[in-house]
Structure 1
Amino acid sequence: MDTPTVIAHRGFAGVAPENTVGAAVAAAEYDETAMLEIDVQPAACGTPVVIHDERLDGARDGRPLTDASGLVWETDLEDIQTTRVLGTEATVPTLAGFLEAIPETVGVNVELKNPGTTDLRFAESLAADERDERREVWTPFVERVVDECAAFDGEILFSSFCEGALAAVRELASSYPAATLVWDDLEAGLEIARRYDCEAIHPPRNAIVGTGLANAEYAGFSAGAPEIDVLEEAHAEGRTVNVWTATNWHQFAALAEAGVDGIIADYPGLGAFSSASS
Structure 2
Amino acid sequence: MSQPTVIAHRGYAGVAPENTVAAAEFAAAREETEMLEIDVQPAACGTPVVFHDDRLDGDRDGRPITDGEGLVWETDLETLADCEVLESGASVPTLERFLAALPDSIGVNVELKNPGTADRRPGEALPAADRAERRERWSPFVERVVEVCEGFGGEILFSSFCEGAIAAARDVAAGYPAAALCYTDLEAGLQVARRYDCEAIHPPRNAIAGTALAGEAYDALPAADPAVDLLETAREAGWAVNVWTVDTWVQFDQLRRAGVDGIVVEYPGLGGEP
Do the two structures share a fold, i.e. TM-score over 0.5? yes
Q: Give 1:49 deviation, angstroms.
A: 0.3
Q: How does 1:60-99 map to 2 (within 5 A)?
A: 60-99=60-99
Answer yes or no: is 1:165 the counterpart of 2:170: no
1:116-165: per-residue Cα shift (whole Å, max 9, x none)? 00111111000011000000110110000000001001100000000000
Q: 1:214: how far off?
A: 1.9
1:191 is matched with which residue? 191
Matches within 5 A, 1:20-99: 20-99=20-99
Mapping 1:1-278, distance limit 5 Å: 1-273=1-273
C-alpha deviations, 1:90-133, integer Å up to 9, x for none?
A: 11100011111111110000000010001111110000110000
**Residue 219 of structure 1: CA displacement?**
4.3
* Counterpart secondary structure, 1:226: coil
| Paired letter, 1:89 | G
RMSD: 0.9
TM-score (norm 2): 0.98
The whole-number CA distance in structure 2 between the counterparts of 1:261 and 1:157 is 14
- Give the residue type in structure 2 aligned to 1:261: D
Offset at residue 215 of structure 1 (A)? 3.3
**Residue aligned with 1:132, SS:** helix
Cα 1:228–1:194 change in 2 (3 A) is same
Aligned length: 274
Match of 1:12, as an amino acid?
Y
Return 212-221 or 249-258, whichever deviates more: 212-221
Q: Give the distance between the partners of 2:25 and 2:258, measured in 1 at CA.
A: 30
TM-score by length of 1: 0.97
In structure 1, C-alpha distance between the alignment counterparts of 2:153 and 2:266, rounded to whole Å: 25
Amino acid at match of 1:117: T
| Deviation digits for residues 159-190 of structure 1 (CA, Å, limit 9, x no counterpart) | 00000000000001100000010110110011
Output the CA distance in 2 between the equivalents of 1:82 and 1:48. 16
Gaps of 5+ in 2: none
Contact residue 183 and residue 219 of structure 1 kept, 8 A: no
Unmatched tracts of structure 1, length 5 or more: none
For each residue in 1:191-249, what CA deviation from the matched residue of structure 2 results, as whole angstroms up to 9, or x when unmatched?
00000000000000000001111232124432132120011101111000000001111
**Matched residues in 1 for 2:263 and 2:33: separation?**
11
Q: Which runs of 4+ in 1 moved over 3 A?
A: none
Letter in 2 for 1:88: S
Supply the distance in 1 between the matched residues of 2:180 and 2:48 (Cα, whole angstroms). Answer: 20
Instruction: Please give the secondary structure, in 1, of the residue aligned with 2:18.
Output: coil
Equivalent position amino acid for 2:123 in 1? A
Give the residue type in structure 2 aligned to 1:139.
S
2:224 and 2:85 map into 1 onto residues whose CA distance is 36
Assess if the C-alpha contact under 8 Å between 1:184 and 1:219 holds in 2. no
